[in-house]
A and B are shown apart, each in its own frame.
Chain A
């Protein structure tokens, strides 16, 4: 039977460094996905996800309630993503690269139609969907992280969920004729 987060955290704090692998193993997919949604760049997201786990390990003694490792970890990730975005600055390309990108056909990447269509959602909708349905945070945890009231989170979740449903329904209908991208 798998150990709980709190049990693993306690083991790591007692000096069992390898136990941390369980946490990385458990959360790396969600952390990678969240970082990718926040940054829009797979390579950078990977770096930020790594740094997030390293920081979590180094600061594990600051985690007051080991039961809440998950929300604490995503708090670190959110902070790291903000920093990374600050460093990135506005999305610009050198003129030559921009021309080349424009002139060349888009690579044939087999990407999920759902992911492609997420671009049609607003930034705040994407954030709330990622926090609730990927990071699996409760309304209360999201409210704390985003400095909102729980009622506001509930409404935003509902709206984001509804927009996602409408977009997917529409795209599904369109895909019967042409692919989304």
Chain B
């Protein structure tokens, strides 16, 4: 590039001449070349050199060469690929994906077993808890225990009814009642979240906006005594 002030444009002008710039960048260089006579002159001489190189380096058309190549190609046996791509080529990605999934299942299956077992144990505990809650409601005209009576209400079912995710009381003086925290051994189960449905006296998949939602890391489950009870956990 001819002058120091235009050194910064060096690369960009060359890229522009090579057709490598698009949009705004291309427009900027074009504008610079329109305004800077020295750069424009350099660009013209540089392009001239490239054209001279292209003209000199390219040999004339060689029909004999083309004919020889085609003769050799005609002499080849018919290629196996003639026509559409082979079925194997089309099916290959799906076959590899299926094989990968099977291999993954074989490797990961045993690792996932404890999680599956934990999920089942925890689900069983929730069912038992739901039964205990229903028992309480039947004995109290269909009402759920008030916060201050929550501990008493679940005392009968804790801890033996919750082997899958044992509860531990966590006093909360500010709230005036205890929280009950449990650790779910099944993260997938915990992430789903379940809400205690007082009308159905059972646990249903979580509904946003209903009751107490407590997300705790690493599969912790926290029960709060405000009806409806929401059991949830996860990330």
CB atoms of B46 and A14 under 8 A apart = no
- Give the contacting residue for B69; candidates A28, A60, A114, A133; CB below 8 A: A28
CB atoms of A21 and B66 under 8 A apart = yes
- A157 lies within 8 A of chain B by Cβ: yes
CB atoms of B82 and A24 under 8 A apart = no
Note all chain A residues with C-beta closer than 8 A to B61. 28-29
Note all chain A residues with C-beta closer than 8 A to B48. 165
Q: How far is the CB of B126 from chain A (nearest CB, A)?
A: 52
Complex Cα spacing A23 to B125, Å? 72
- Give the contacting residue for B81; candidates A53, A60, A114; CB below 8 A: A60
Q: Which of A30-38, A67-75, A101-109 contacts B (4 or more CB under 8 A)?
A: A30-38
Note all chain A residues with C-beta closer than 8 A to B70. 18, 20-21, 24
Nearest A-chain residue to B73, judged by Cβ: A57
Note all chain A residues with C-beta closer than 8 A to B81. 13, 60-61
Give the one of B10, B69, B74 with max A CB within 10 A. B69
Note all chain A residues with C-beta closer than 8 A to B52. 114, 168
Give the one of A18, A115, A162 with max B CB within 10 A. A162
Q: Using A32-B59, A33-B59 as known contacts, say yes or no to A154 and B54 having CB atoms under 8 A apart.
A: no
CB atoms of B50 and A130 under 8 A apart = no
CB atoms of B58 and A134 under 8 A apart = yes
CB atoms of B82 and A57 under 8 A apart = no
| Residues 170 to 221 of chain B near chain A (Cβ within 8 Å) | none
- B68 lies within 8 A of chain A by Cβ: yes
Size of chain A's interface in residues, with CB distance under 8 A? 47
- A54 lies within 8 A of chain B by Cβ: yes
Q: How far is the CB of A103 from chain B (nearest CB, A)?
A: 30
- B85 lies within 8 A of chain A by Cβ: yes
| Residues 104 to 135 of chain A near chain B (Cβ within 8 Å) | 112-115, 118, 129-130, 132-134
Note all chain A residues with C-beta closer than 8 A to B50. 133, 161, 164
Q: Using A50-B65, A114-B52 as known contacts, say yes or no to A33 and B76 having CB atoms under 8 A apart.
A: no
Nearest B-chain residue to A37, judged by Cβ: B57
CB atoms of A54 and B79 under 8 A apart = no
Q: Which of the four size classes fits the interface of chain B?
A: 35 or more
- A87 lies within 8 A of chain B by Cβ: no
Note all chain A residues with C-beta closer than 8 A to B141. none
CB atoms of A133 and B65 under 8 A apart = no
CB atoms of B18 and A139 under 8 A apart = yes
CB atoms of A161 and B49 under 8 A apart = yes
Note all chain B residues with C-beta closer than 8 A to A164. 49-50, 53
Complex Cα spacing A13 to B193, Å? 56
Can you report 30 residue pairs joining A to B where beta carbons are below 8 Å apart?
A13-B81, A13-B83, A14-B83, A14-B84, A15-B83, A20-B73, A21-B70, A28-B62, A28-B65, A28-B69, A29-B61, A29-B62, A32-B65, A36-B59, A50-B65, A54-B72, A54-B76, A57-B73, A58-B76, A60-B79, A112-B56, A114-B52, A133-B50, A134-B54, A139-B18, A139-B20, A154-B14, A158-B14, A164-B49, A169-B49
Add 18 more A-B contacts to A13-B85, A28-B62, A114-B52 (CB < 8 A): A14-B83, A15-B82, A17-B74, A29-B61, A46-B65, A49-B65, A50-B65, A50-B68, A54-B72, A54-B76, A57-B73, A130-B57, A134-B54, A139-B18, A154-B14, A157-B18, A161-B50, A169-B45
Which residues of B are interface residues toward A (Cβ below 8 A)?
10-11, 14-15, 17-18, 20, 45-46, 48-50, 52-62, 65-66, 68-70, 72-74, 76, 79, 81-86, 89
